[in-house]
């Protein structure tokens, strides 16, 4: 299913009042497409309309606050985490490529990382999300038959080892 189709499904769910399900789908899409700031903004908008201002601020944190409502939500969110850059980085879990973000978002991430380093002496690092579709042809996918073969081989080897041990114990008992 393409990103456009997924967004249409999310819009349909929002229209039908399934906002929790839509927000869950949006969070999953953000994990799959971390550089798509439009997804971050869509989720923030959904939270804002639902009255969850701190959650809206969390997803607007990388968006330049051009409106008062965005500024207010970001302020509420930052206050809720005690203005901790470390906590914000832990919660937003940005796995994308910083260089593909807007200049404001890059500066904000750098600012959060500097605050985290200063206050917690640690900067959370998250490995970039790999696109599974790109690696599909290069990765070896184990089938049930492969797994069954491995388990059979392990079973045979472990049975031989157990029989050898029983044999040694029996021989030692005969000798003594």
Name which residue leads in pLDDT, 127 or 41: 41
For 1-37, what is each residue's pLDDT tens digit? 888 899 999 999 999 999 999 999 999 999 888 888 8
Under CATH, what is the fold of the domain 3-120? 1.25.40
Name which residue leads in pLDDT, 100 or 139: 100
User: What is the pLDDT of the chain when averaged over all its residues?
Assistant: 88
CB 70 within 8 A of CB 58: no
User: What is the arithmetic mean of pLDDT over 52-77?
Assistant: 94
For 130-141, what is each residue's pLDDT tens digit? 555 544 444 567
Length of the chain measured in residues: 176
Separation of CA 27 from chain center? 9
- The DSSP 8-state label assigned to residue 98 in this structure reads G
Q: How far apart are CA 89 and CA 122, in angstroms?
A: 11
Is the confidence at residue 125, as pLDDT, over 80?
no
Domain ranges of the chain: 3-120, 142-175
Query: How does residue 40 score in pLDDT terms, banded at 50, 70 and 90?
Result: very high
For 142-160, what is each residue's pLDDT tens digit? 788 888 889 999 999 999 9
Work out the percent of the chain whose per-residue pLDDT is above 90: 60
Whole-structure pTM value: 0.68
Residues contacting residue 21 through CB under 8 Å, at least 6 positions apart: 13
- The DSSP 8-state label assigned to residue 96 in this structure reads S
Residue 97 backbone dihedrals phi, psi, to 5 degrees: -100, 115
């Amino acid at each position: 299913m393409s990103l456009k189709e997924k967004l249409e499904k999310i819009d349909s769910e929002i229209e039908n009042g399934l906002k929790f399900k839509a927000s869950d789908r949006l969070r999953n899409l953000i994990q799959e497409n971390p550089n798509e700031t439009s997804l971050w903004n869509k989720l923030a908008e959904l939270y804002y309309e639902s009255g969850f201002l701190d959650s809206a601020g969390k997803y607007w944190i990388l968006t330049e606050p051009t409106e008062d409502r965005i500024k207010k939500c970001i302020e509420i969110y930052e206050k809720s985490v005690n203005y901790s850059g470390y906590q914000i980085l832990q919660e937003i879990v940005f796995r994308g490529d910083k260089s593909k973000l807007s200049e404001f978002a890059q500066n904000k991430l750098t600012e959060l990382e500097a605050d985290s380093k200063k206050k917690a002496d640690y900067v959370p690092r998250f490995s970039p999300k790999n696109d599974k579709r790109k690696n599909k042809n290069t990765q070896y996918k184990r089938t049930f038959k492969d797994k069954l073969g491995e388990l059979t081989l392990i079973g045979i080897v472990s049975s031989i080892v157990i029989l050898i041990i029983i044999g040694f114990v029996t021989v030692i008992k005969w000798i003594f």
